[in-house]
Structure formats: C-alpha cells, structure tokens
C-alpha cells in the first residue's frame, strides 16, 4: 500500500477510534457531533490546500509552490522538486539555444528557417542583410512576400534542390547570392544564402578576358590563314620544303581558328544576358541533316544509321541544338576506327525526349567520364589533336544542355564504344511539326 493511503487510513482510524471512546464515555449523540465536526474540519483543510494549489497554478512562474500540511505536504514537496528540475532543464535548453543562435549569427552565410508553407521562423543577421528582412518584424511572414524575384519563388516551389540558385540583383542591385535550400524535420526548410558578388565579378572578368582575347585573335588569324593558303597554292612555288612548311602552317592556323571559334561560342553561351531563344525544332529533320553531315565527314569510313523510334519536336534553340548534337556526332566519327558503326537515335524515356549517339569506337575508361565536359580535358591529347579536336566540344555541349534544362548521360566501355545521350525535360517535347525549323 502506498504511503498516501497508509496515512489516510491511520488518520481515519484514529478519528474513528476517538469517536468510539467518546461514544462509550458520553453517549452516541456526542460521538456523532464530534465525528461530524472532525469531518468538516478535515474537508476545510482539503479545500484550503486546493485553494493554495489553485492560486499557485494561476502564475506558476512567478509564485513559489505552497508548503501544505498533512498529505498535501508530501504532494507539494514533490511538485516543488519537479518544478525545480523543469526550470533547470529549461535553463539548460535556453543556454544551448543561445549558443546555437550565437554560432549561426557568426556564420559567414545567411540562414533562414522556413516552415512547410514558407513562413519565416527565424533568421540570422546576414540573412536579414541578404533578403532585407527584420528578424523581429518579419517572423511569421511568408518569405515570398519579402523576396519576390520570380526565379526565387520558382526555386522554392521546386522539388530538386541539389543545385544552388544564383540570384542576381537581389536587394542592393549588384548583390549576387548563391542560395541553397535544405529540407529537414517534418517539412521544414533551411535557406542558406552566400554572397558571391566578388566571385561573380572575377568570373565575369575572366569571361570577358577570354572573349576579348578570342575576338582580337580572330582577325589576324584569318589574315595569316588567307596568306598561307594563297602562298601554298601559288604555282610558282617549287621548293618542296616551303610547300610542306606552308601546309603545316595552314593546318595550325586552322586549328587556332577552330579554337578561337569554340572559345567565342562558349563565351556567348556563358553570357547571362544571352537568354535562350526558343522555337520549335523538328527532331527528325535535324537528325536527317546531321546524318548527312556525319556521312560527309566520315567519307564512307563508317556505317552511319538513323533510328527514329519516336518522332517529336523540341522546344529549344535550333542553332544550339544543332551544335550540341553535331558535336556528339563529330566526336563519334573522330573516335571510332574505320569500319565502325555509329547510330543516331531519337526515342522517349519515361515521357522525356532523348537524343543519343552510339558508336562502336575506342570508348572511354570510367575514371575519365565525370571530367569529360571540363574545358580542354582530353583522354588522349595526341589523338584529339590529330583528329582536329579543340578539347572544348563537350564543354559546349554541356552548356547547351544546361540552357535547355536537359541532362547529358555518358556511358562507355573502353575498346567497345560509347553512348552520349541528351535527356530533355518532358515539358520540351512537342508534337512533331510538319515544317519544323531544323537549324
Ligand atoms: P576534343 O576536341 O578533344 O574531342 P571534346 O570536349 O569534344 O574535346 O571531348 C573531350 C574528350 O572526350 C576527347 O578528347 C576524347 O578523349 C573524349 N571523347 C569524346 N567523345 C568521345 C567518343 N565518342 N569516344 C571516345 N572518346 C570520346
């Protein structure tokens, strides 16, 4: 039996025994009166303790737990212990939270905690600066009311946050932010913002420099190449060595011209102001053109086939798509020995239009595949040069693919061949047009 019931039992038994004694000594009426008075006193005591408890519950933070008497003494003392423990725990949590807040405030990145409906729950001082927030006034506000750029609003509604969003011109006009959204808990989101204005400026300087140098080199190269060709073709040139030298000079200047052209193409694709001009591109027409161009380049050394499993049109830029697909076909021809087979395919995978080029060529070892789209990355430098490569082809393809929100898939086996596929988002698939622009 618990202490509580033991005490109740002892107390009731004592009163009862005392009343029995009074009954024996002074009769039944006196005992009944005494018993009633004792019960009333006991009830009054209970009510008094309950009133003390009720009073304390009105303001448990500001008042001390009442002392109590009888059974209530024990109850209040246990309640007091619980309250003290709870307060100590709360102080610990508050201190831990304060530490966390201080740590996140010291972070070199902006942090905003959003709930599942994009309402701001908390933000650090840097996030206040990045988004123009006020950590007191704006708590509970929907972030898209305060930061309204369409790209940002669209990013928040997206499901794929693997890539950061680069937000230009946010707030102070020239501020460039890199934003990353991280999902955690039950539907909560952590929005991390990083000021990359300085990095962007350096990147723009680098891009401008490459574009300007390429542009400046173009004219002298054209002039030199023109003279070399004219000299080489002069009938009066009898010296064999001079002819060979001019031939080599012509080859090298042409390589440089290709390099400059590819660098200028990359600069154009990288230019943030150069937005994608979309049109309807009939894939079958484009692919037939590419097949013919591929056959001309191969000069009968390869078997080229076209497999149009699904005929669709693409919403994209005809010139860029032609350049990307063309690069893949050219590479397939350059890296496939004589007699090999090259297949140009268009099909659909899970509702997504896919364009692929499969070859039975030299293939690529798996460790090189992730780096192929880097500028000037070549598996075999001399082979790339021999076949007239600039090392920029796949970098151009990657840029075009990104501009179309598509994906470049590369699968390859050394010595057996490679397949390069461009997977477009389902939204870019259009019904095949009668007279679509191919290029
Ligand atoms: P390059 O002008 O050197 O061909 P790219 O950017 O087009 O430059 O390609 C990068 C590298 O990827 C190439 O140097 C080559 O090693 C490899 N590569 C590209 N396409 C193929 C292919 N179809 N088969 C084998 N290797 C390839």
Domain ranges of the chain: 3-100, 107-195, 201-270, 279-430
C-alpha 80 – ligand 1 centre gap (Å): 77
Task: Tell me which residue has its CA closest to atom 19 in ligand 1.
Answer: 331
Rounded to 5°, the CA angle 408-325-216 comes to: 100
User: If you classify domain 107-195 with CATH, what class do you get?
Assistant: alpha beta
Per-residue pLDDT of the chain (439 residues; tens, 9 = 90+): 677 788 888 888 998 899 999 999 988 899 999 989 988 998 998 899 999 999 999 998 888 888 888 778 888 899 999 999 999 999 999 999 899 888 888 888 999 999 988 899 989 989 998 888 888 888 999 988 888 888 888 888 876 778 888 888 766 667 889 999 998 888 888 999 999 999 988 988 998 999 999 999 999 999 998 988 888 888 776 777 888 888 889 888 998 999 999 999 999 898 877 888 999 999 999 999 999 999 999 999 999 999 998 888 999 999 999 999 999 999 999 999 999 999 999 999 988 999 999 999 999 999 999 999 999 999 988 877 778 788 999 999 999 999 999 999 999 999 999 999 999 999 999 887 554 444 4
Which pLDDT score, from 0 to 100, does residue 132 have?
87
Please give the number of the atom of ligand 1 that sits closest to the Cα of 332. 23
Structure tokens at 94: 């508050």
Query: Closest residue (by CA) to atom 23 of ligand 1?
Result: 332
Write down the pLDDT at residue 240. 79
Q: DSSP readout, 66-116?
A: P---THHHHHHHHHHHHHHHHHHHHHHHHHHHHHHHHHHHTSSSEEEEE-T
In whole angstroms, give the CA distance from residue 370 to residue 419: 14
Q: What CATH architecture does domain 279-430 belong to?
A: 2-Layer Sandwich (3.30)
Q: What H or E segment, with its residue span, contains residue 123?
A: strand 120-123
CA distance 188 to 100: 18
- How many CB atoms within 10 Å of residue 110? 23
User: Angle 370-374-375 (CA atoms, 0-180°, nearest 5)?
Assistant: 160
How remote is the CA of residue 394 from the centroid of ligand 1, in Å?
7
What percent of the residues of the chain are helix, what percent strand, and what percent coil, each to the nearest 5? 55, 20, 30
For residue 323 and ligand 1, the question of a CB distance below 6 A is answered with no
Q: Ligand 1: does its nearest atom lie under 6 Å from the Cβ of 390?
A: yes
Q: Is the CB of 418 under 6 A from ligand 1?
A: yes
* Residues constituting the chain: 439
Closest alpha carbon to 333 in 397, 420, 406: 420
Three-state SS at 49: helix
Best residue among 393, 399, 416, 418 to mutate for probing ligand 1's pocket (most ligand atoms within 8 Å of CB) is 393
Cβ atoms of residues 421 and 401 within 8 Å = no
Ligand 1 atom 20 nearest Cα: 331
The class of domain 201-270 in CATH terms is mainly alpha
Helices (H) and strands (E) in the chain, counts: 12, 13
- Enumerate the β-bridge partners of residue 192: 111, 180
**What integer pLDDT is reported at residue 287 of this predicted model?**
94
> Atom 13 of ligand 1 has which residue's CA nearest to it?
378
Q: What contacts 399, CB < 8 A, 6 or more positions away?
A: 266, 269, 270
Nearest-CA residue for atom 18 of ligand 1? 331
CA torsion 317→320→325→329, rounded to 10°? 150
Q: Does ligand 1 have an atom closer than 6 angstroms to the CB of 332?
A: yes
């Amino acid at each position: 039996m618990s202490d509580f019931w033991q005490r109740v039992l002892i107390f009731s038994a004592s009163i009862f025994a005392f009343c029995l004694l009074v009954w024996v000594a002074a009769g039944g009426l006196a005992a009944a009166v005494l018993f009633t008075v004792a019960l009333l006193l006991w009830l009054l005591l209970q009510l008094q303790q309950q009133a003390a408890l009720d009073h304390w519950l009105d303001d448990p933070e500001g008042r001390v737990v009442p002392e109590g008497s009888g059974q209530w003494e024990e109850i209040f003392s246990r309640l007091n212990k619980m309250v003290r423990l709870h307060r100590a725990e709360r102080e610990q949590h508050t201190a831990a939270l304060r530490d966390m807040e201080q740590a996140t405030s010291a972070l070199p990145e902006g942090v905003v905690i959003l709930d599942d409906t994009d309402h701001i729950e908390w933000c650090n001082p840097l996030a206040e600066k990045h988004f123009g927030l006020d950590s007191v006034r704006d708590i509970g506000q929907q972030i898209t009311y305060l930061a309204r750029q369409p790209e940002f609003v669209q990013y928040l509604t997206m499901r794929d946050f693997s890539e950061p969003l680069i937000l230009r011109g946010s707030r102070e006009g020239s501020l460039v932010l890199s934003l990353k959204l991280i999902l955690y808990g039950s539907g909560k989101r952590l929005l991390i913002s990083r000021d990359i204005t300085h990095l962007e400026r350096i990147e723009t300087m680098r891009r401008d420099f490459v574009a300007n140098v390429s542009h400046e080199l173009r004219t002298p190269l054209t002039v030199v190449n023109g003279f070399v060709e004219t000299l080489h073709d002069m009938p009066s040139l009898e010296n064999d060595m001079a002819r060979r030298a001019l031939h080599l000079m012509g080859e090298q200047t042409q390589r440089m011209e290709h390099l400059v052209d590819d660098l200028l193409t990359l600069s154009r694709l990288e230019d943030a102001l150069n937005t994608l001009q979309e049109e309807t591109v009939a894939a079958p027409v484009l692919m037939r053109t590419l097949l013919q161009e591929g056959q001309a380049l191969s000069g009968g050394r390869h078997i080229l086939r076209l497999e149009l499993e699904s005929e669709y049109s693409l919403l994209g830029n005809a010139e860029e798509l032609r350049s990307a697909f063309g690069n893949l076909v050219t590479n397939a021809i350059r890296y496939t020995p004589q007699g090999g087979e090259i297949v140009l395919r268009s099909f659909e995978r899970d509702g997504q239009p896919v364009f692929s080029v499969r070859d039975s060529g030299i293939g690529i070892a798996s460790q090189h595949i992730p780096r192929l789209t880097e500028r000037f990355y070549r598996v075999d430098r001399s082979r790339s040069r021999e076949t007239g490569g600039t090392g920029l082809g796949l970098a151009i393809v990657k840029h075009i693919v990104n501009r179309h929100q598509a994906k470049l898939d590369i699968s390859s086996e050394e010595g057996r061949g490679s397949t390069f596929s461009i997977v477009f988002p389902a939204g870019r698939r259009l019904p095949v047009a009668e007279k679509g622009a191919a290029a």
